[in-house]
């Protein structure tokens, strides 16, 4: 399998283990690689070294939060030019994260202030910067992930991504608390050509989330489904185990196991690795 969403230390919050621990967990589980994500630093260099240790692809990128000034084309250009493969639109510093009261950098260090970020139509003034970010992603044939932005922003990004010719679009856990989409909207976004992510973190930690609900989201995603762990928390299983638990839970709801396994192997491989 290929896990397209995992966190490791060091981080501003406690993690399951550092890059070496996480790499070795995937190696022991015979995974084909993974995507290393951090909310508050580029993971490009870390992923490069992790890939050397694993002997298989480990990809990194940048999330557009406060550490880089939000939707910042300069930060994106630097990350992609250094070999980054993923750009996540605002995650922990998205306006949705703030509204939901979920963890952010300002909770760790209040002196930095409660900056939040959005893209159109929530923040029309961000259109020019966001369009340049999308153009850079298209130029590098990288993956654009929507992060924690809201439903109307995801619709806008879907349309602008098509305008720029982006081939790799991932709607980041749309049924998670942020952005909190229902299966009908998930189906709409999947029909527009993007991939739909469901994570083991949702199963393990999302308030009110059940396997039955995630099964409905998976059905709405259809052949655009991607399963990932989004693990790395001290109170979660090791990331490979977490992803396996998600597959087991969805199979327990009557979904085809072969399809689910493909959503954790073939689909992410096509999105992140295929040329």
Q: How buried is residue 218: exposed, middle or buried, by Cβ count under 10 Å (0-12/13-18/19+)? A: buried
Quote the pLDDT of residue 17: 97
- Whichever domain contains 204, its CATH number is 3.20.20.140
- Whether 150 and 156 have beta carbons less than 8 Å apart is answered as no
Question: Per residue in 94-121, pLDDT tens?
Answer: 999 999 999 999 999 999 999 999 999 9
For residue 105, the enclosing domain spans 2-272
**Residue 104 corresponds to which tokens in the numbers above?**
């952010």
Per the structure, the count of domains in the chain is: 1
Question: Per residue in 201-217, pLDDT tens?
Answer: 999 999 999 999 999 99
Question: Per residue in 236-254, pLDDT tens?
Answer: 999 999 999 999 999 999 9
In the chain, what percentage of residues exceed pLDDT 90? 99
Question: Per residue in 221-235, pLDDT tens?
Answer: 999 999 999 999 999
Between CA 252 and CA 165 the distance in angstroms is 38
- Side-chain-side CA neighbours of residue 267 (13 Å): 25
DSSP alpha helix (H) spans, the chain? 19-28, 44-54, 73-81, 95-100, 105-108, 127-140, 151-164, 183-191, 200-205, 211-221, 239-251, 257-263, 266-272
Residue 275 — very low, low, confident or very high, per pLDDT cuts 50/70/90?
A: confident
**Residue 66 corresponds to which tokens in the numbers above?**
């406060």
């Amino acid at each position: 399998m290929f896990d397209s969403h995992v966190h490791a230390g060091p981080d501003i919050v406690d993690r399951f283990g550092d890059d070496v621990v996480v790499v070795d967990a995937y190696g022991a589980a015979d995974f084909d690689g993974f995507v290393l994500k951090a909310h508050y630093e580029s993971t490009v260099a870390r992923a490069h070294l992790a890939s050397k240790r694993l002997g298989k692809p480990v990809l990194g990128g940048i999330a557009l939060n406060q550490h880089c000034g939000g939707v910042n084309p300069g930060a994106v250009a630097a990350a992609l030019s250094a070999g980054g493969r993923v750009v996540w639109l605002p995650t922990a510093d998205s306006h949705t994260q703030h509204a939901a009261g979920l963890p952010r950098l300002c909770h760790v260090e209040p002196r930095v202030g409660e900056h939040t970020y959005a893209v159109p139509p929530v923040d029309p003034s961000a259109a020019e910067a966001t369009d340049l970010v999308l153009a850079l992603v298209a130029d590098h044939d990288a993956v654009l992930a929507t992060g924690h932005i809201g439903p109307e922003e995801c619709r806008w990004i879907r349309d602008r991504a098509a305008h720029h010719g982006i081939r790799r679009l991932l709607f980041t856990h749309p049924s998670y608390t942020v952005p909190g989409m229902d299966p009908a909207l998930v189906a709409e976004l999947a029909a527009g050509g993007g991939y739909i992510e469901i994570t083991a973190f949702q199963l393990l930690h999302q308030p009110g989330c059940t396997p039955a609900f995630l099964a409905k989201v998976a059905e709405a995603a259809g052949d655009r489904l991607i399963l990932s762990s989004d693990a790395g928390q001290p109170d979660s299983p090791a990331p490979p185990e977490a992803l396996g638990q998600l597959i087991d839970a969805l199979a327990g709801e009557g979904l085809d196991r072969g399809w689910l396994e493909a959503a954790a192997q073939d689909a992410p491989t096509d999105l992140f690795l295929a040329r």
